[in-house]
Amino acid sequence: MGLQVGLVYDLRGDYLAQGYTQEQVAEFDSDATINALEEAIGSLGHGTERIGNAFSLCKRLAAGERWQLIFNIAEGLRGRSRESQVPAILELYGVGYTFSDPLVCAATLDKAVAKRLLQSAGLPTARFRVVAGADDLADADALGLEFPLFAKPVAEGTGKGIDGSSRVDSAAQLREVCARLVKQFDQPVLVEEYLPGREFTTGVLGCGGKARVMGTIELRMRERAGTDIYSYQMKEQCEELVDYLPMAAGDLRRRVEDLALRAYRLLECRDAGRVDMRLDRAGGPAFLEINPLPGLHPTHSDLPMIATQEGMSYVELIGSIINSAAERLGIGHEV
């Protein structure tokens, strides 16, 4: 007997209909993703029910509805703790769910908080500062960072706020970029020393000591992209502008995947996640950020692409996530 699984998500179309822009809803899911997810869960022998976003979830929980497991991929709408909203609501009502808890979702969405936690454990990540406004840049030298730098919103995903101007080579440019980002996204800017090397993303499955690396892909911008920065535009047009390549076996891959697994465990992510890294000036892997709610479009999102590369079907990937959640919650059966 399978589980009754409720699906909680933010649908792009719902928010576009309310007047939000394409960039504002970039982290949200398409109908294609929800259709694929529902089909995969059903093929594993589970029943599914579409709940929708956090507002719909609140109404239905308050009305007394319950599910054995919530498959949560809702990104949330406002604030740096927005990815924590659905997990927090579910914990209030005592309903089990997939992926990480509220603390982890908040700490990882704020990239500066995540980097501080990694630094405290001695894991490599680029030196950085958080810029909240013009006063923080009165003296760029006071930041104590070496140009070139890289600037991006401190709590956004899907490459939002990242473009060709994100690499910064002067104090004047830094002031201009930070002022624009603070105004546009109404949040501080993460300014870090630029990592010039190759970029990788590693998929991790499971929880705690049972967490394991699924695989790693290298991201290379095509010549027509005109930049090596994996920006919002690159992610939206990845089929035309980006090559996703299997990372060759060897010492570098072992070091990249070791860092990814250590970061995943240190930050206490659960069930599945994705860790982004880039090589520093010395050629060593350095942590960029981690996504505890990875995109799940079967062909467009990085985690399913890693699964496909490693010979794991989309259905097997979704089954692994559900099994991990069910095991730690003590519910259902393995599929």
What was the pLDDT predicted at 333? 53
- Same domain, residue pair 9 and 81: yes
pTM: 0.95
- Same domain, residue pair 225 and 141: no
Two structure tokens written together for 18 = 């309310």
Two structure tokens written together for 80 = 């740096």
User: What's the whole-number average pLDDT of the chain?
Assistant: 94
Q: Is residue 188 assigned to a domain? A: yes
Q: Is residue 122 assigned to a domain? A: no
- Same domain, residue pair 141 and 201: no
Q: Is residue 118 assigned to a domain? A: no
Count of CB atoms situated within 10 Å of the CB of 50: 13
- Same domain, residue pair 217 and 304: yes
Mean pLDDT of 141-169: 92
Amino acid type, 167:
R
Q: Could you say which of 170, 193, 216 is where a domain stops? A: 193
Instruction: For 295-327, write each residue's pLDDT tens digit.
Output: 999 999 999 999 999 999 999 999 999 999 999
DSSP 3-state assignment of 172? Answer: helix
Q: Is residue 244 assigned to a domain? A: yes
Q: Could you say which of 151, 168, 193 is where a domain stops? A: 193
Q: Could you say which DSSP state residue 170 is in?
A: S
Q: Could you say which of 161, 193, 225 is where a domain stops? A: 193
- Same domain, residue pair 91 and 145: no
Is 194:167 a contact under the CB 8 Å cutoff?
Answer: yes
Two structure tokens written together for 44 = 């594993």
- Same domain, residue pair 144 and 162: yes
What was the pLDDT predicted at 168? 96
Looking at the structure of the chain, the number of domains it has is 3
What's the Cα-to-Cα distance from 65 to each of 49, 58, 95, 128, rounded to whole Å? Answer: 11, 10, 11, 45
HSE toward the beta carbon, residue 39, CA cutoff 13 A = 10
Q: Is residue 117 assigned to a domain? A: no
d(C-alpha 95, C-alpha 216), whole Å: 33
Q: Is residue 322 assigned to a domain? A: yes
- Same domain, residue pair 80 and 187: no
What was the pLDDT predicted at 1? 67
End-to-end CA distance of the chain: 10
What was the pLDDT predicted at 89? 98
- Same domain, residue pair 252 and 295: yes
CATH number for the domain spanning 25: value is 3.40.50.20
- Same domain, residue pair 34 and 53: yes
d(C-alpha 138, C-alpha 37), whole Å: 49
- Same domain, residue pair 295 and 186: no
Q: Confidence band (pLDDT; 50, 70, 90) for 49? A: very high
C-alpha radius of gyration, the chain, whole number: 20
d(C-alpha 192, C-alpha 21), whole Å: 28
- Same domain, residue pair 167 and 213: no
CATH number for the domain spanning 239: value is 3.30.470.20
d(C-alpha 188, C-alpha 167), whole Å: 17
Is 266:121 a contact under the CB 8 Å cutoff?
Answer: yes
- Which residues constitute the domain of residue 151? 127-193
- Same domain, residue pair 229 and 265: yes
In percent, the amount of the chain with pLDDT more than 90 equals 86
Instruction: For 113-133, write each residue's pLDDT tens digit.
Output: 999 999 999 999 999 999 998
CATH number for the domain spanning 154: value is 3.30.1490.20
* pLDDT higher than 90, residue 61: yes
Q: To 5 degrees, how large is the angle CA 325–CA 328–CA 330?
A: 100
